[in-house]
Amino acid sequence: MDKLRIGVIGVCGRGGLANHWRDSGRASVVAGADVNPTYLDDFRKRMGEGVFVTDDYRRLLERADVDAVAVTSPDFTHEEYASAALDAGKHVFCEKPLAISTEGCDRILRAWKASGKRLMVGFNMRYMSIFRAMKEIIDAGTIGEIRAAWCRHFVGHGGTFYYHDWHANRRGSNSLLLQKGSHDLDMIHWLTGRYTRRVAAFGSLDFFGGDRPNGLTCPECPDKRTCFEYDTSSRNQCCFRQEVDVEDNNVMVMELDGGIKASYLQCHFTPDYHRNYTIIGTEGRIENSEPEDKVWVRMRRANSWKELADREYAIRPAVGGHGGADPVICEDFLDMVIDGKEPLATPEAGRMSVAAGCAGAHSMRNDGMPVEVAPIAW
C-alpha cells in the first residue's frame, strides 16, 4: 500500500485531524461526509476540489477508493458509523468516546473482530509529552507498586465546551463522565496499568440548566451583555435552557484490578482550567500540573541503596494540537494500518473507559449505589 486513502465522517471539529493526513506522505484524504453543507464546503477547500463529499455517510462507505474511515462526528453517532464502516471492510479511527453506552462499545468491538480490519480509538492524551513522561517513570518502577490514583479536572470553559450544544443532553452524550471523562478515566487506566471494576459516584447539575426556553440562543438573549456564558460561536444555545440535564459537577470513586483505589473529580464551572493526576505507589508518588507542563516525583525515605531524591521535571510540549498529540496520533494510525504496529490506544481500552463512565453515570443517578463494571461482551 503506497498511500492509505482516508474518508472522514464528521468533517468539522475533530474532523480537523484530516489536515495531518492530508499533509502526510503516507496518506491521502479522498472523501468526507457531513450533514452540514457549510462544513463540507470548508472541507473541500482544505482537501482540494477533487475530494468526494456527501451528506450521507453510507455513500462514502460504498466507495472502493476509501481504505480507512475516521469517525469524528458527535458522540451519539459513533456506534452506528464505526460499526457500519467496519462492516463495509474499512479500517477505522474512532474519536473518543468509542460510544455513549457500554453496549454500543461492545457492538463496535464485535464488528471489529468480525471484519479483520484495524480499529483505533482517539485517546490523544496518551500521546502528550507530559503523560508519556509520567508513564515512563511509573513503568520504570520508580514509585514502586501502585496502590492509589486520582484525578482532579477543573474544566474552566465547561459552558463553552459542553453546555451550548448537544453535549448538554443525555441523549447526545449520556454523561460528561464519558465525553470529557473518557480521557481521564483512560489515563487512570493507562498510568496504573489496571481497569476499573467497581464504582460509586455522586453528581448533580449545580450551575448550568434552568428555566430559559430551549430555543433561546446567545445572540437573541436579553442578558447577553452581562452573561458570563455568552458565546458568539455557532454553538450558541443558551446553557441555562430547560432541556439541559447533564451533570456539571461529578465525583467518582473506583476500585481497579489489583485492589487499586482511585477517585475522579470533574467540575465544569471553575474559574480556571487545570488537570492534575496523582499516582501513589509503595515507594513514592508522581504528580503533574498540566498547565505548567511539570511532573513531580516524591520518594519515601528509606535507609537503603534504593533511596532516590525527590525530582521535578519540566516537560517541553511538542508542536501541534493537544500538546503536540494530534499529529502523533495521526501517524500512529498510519503505522497501525500500513505497518501492522499495535496502537498506543487499543479498542479494549476505549471500551473500558466508556464502561467505567457509564457505571459512574448509573451510580450517581441512583443515589450513589455501587455499580460493577460490565465485562466485555464479545
**Predicted local confidence at residue 324, as pLDDT:** 78
Comparison of pLDDT for 301 and 12, the residue scoring more:
12
For the chain, give every domain's residue range: 4-123+327-345, 126-322+351-372
Beta bridge partners, 251, equal 202, 265
Comparing CA positions, the residue from 185, 373, 368, 153 lying closest to residue 249 is: 153
Q: Per-residue pLDDT for 308 more than 70?
A: no
What is the band of 44 on the pLDDT scale with cuts at 50, 70, 90? Answer: very high
Q: Do residues 105 and 374 make contact, with C-beta atoms less than 8 angstroms apart?
A: no
The model's confidence at residue 305, banded by pLDDT at 50, 70 and 90, is low
CATH 3.30.360.10 matches 126-322+351-372: yes
Model pLDDT, residue 77: 97
Question: Is it the case that residue 1 has pLDDT exceeding 70?
Answer: no
- As given in the structure block, the three cell numbers for residue 127 are 500521546
Do 4-123+327-345 and 126-322+351-372 fold alike per CATH? no
At 313 the pLDDT is: 85
**What pLDDT sits at residue 306?**
59
CA atoms within 13 A on the CB side of 30: 17
pLDDT > 70? residue 302: no
- Rounded Cα gap, residues 270 and 267, in angstroms: 6
Count of beta carbons in the 10 Å neighbourhood of residue 152: 17
What is the per-residue pLDDT for 201?
Answer: 98
The CATH number of the domain covering residues in 4-123+327-345: 3.40.50.720
Average pLDDT value over all residues in the chain? 94
Segment 98-124 mean pLDDT: 97
Residue 193: pLDDT over 70:
yes
Q: Cβ(339)–Cβ(27) under 8 Å?
A: no
**Mean pLDDT confidence for 251-268:** 97
pLDDT confidence band for 307 (50 / 70 / 90): low
pLDDT tens digits for 157-174? 889 999 999 999 999 999
22-36, 138-152, 296-310: segment of lowest average pLDDT: 296-310
Residues 45-68: pLDDT tens digits?
999 989 999 999 999 999 999 999
Cα separation, 190 vs 135, in Å, equals 8
In which element (H, E) is residue 6 found? strand 4-9
pLDDT (mean) for 195-208: 98
326-358 per-position pLDDT tens digit: 999 999 999 999 999 999 989 999 999 999 999
What pLDDT score was predicted for residue 290? 84
**Confidence (pLDDT) at 318:** 72
Task: Write the pLDDT tens digit of every residue in 134-158.
Answer: 999 999 999 999 999 999 999 988 8
The stretch 111-126 carries a mean pLDDT of 96
Task: Tell me the three cell numbers of residue 178.
Answer: 464519558
Q: Is the separation of the CB atoms in 154 and 274 below 8 Å?
A: yes
How do residues 217-248 score in pLDDT, each as one tens digit? 999 999 999 999 998 888 899 999 999 999 99
- Residues 214, 109: Cα–Cα separation, whole Å: 36
Name which of 154, 187, 149 is nearest 278 in CA terms: 149
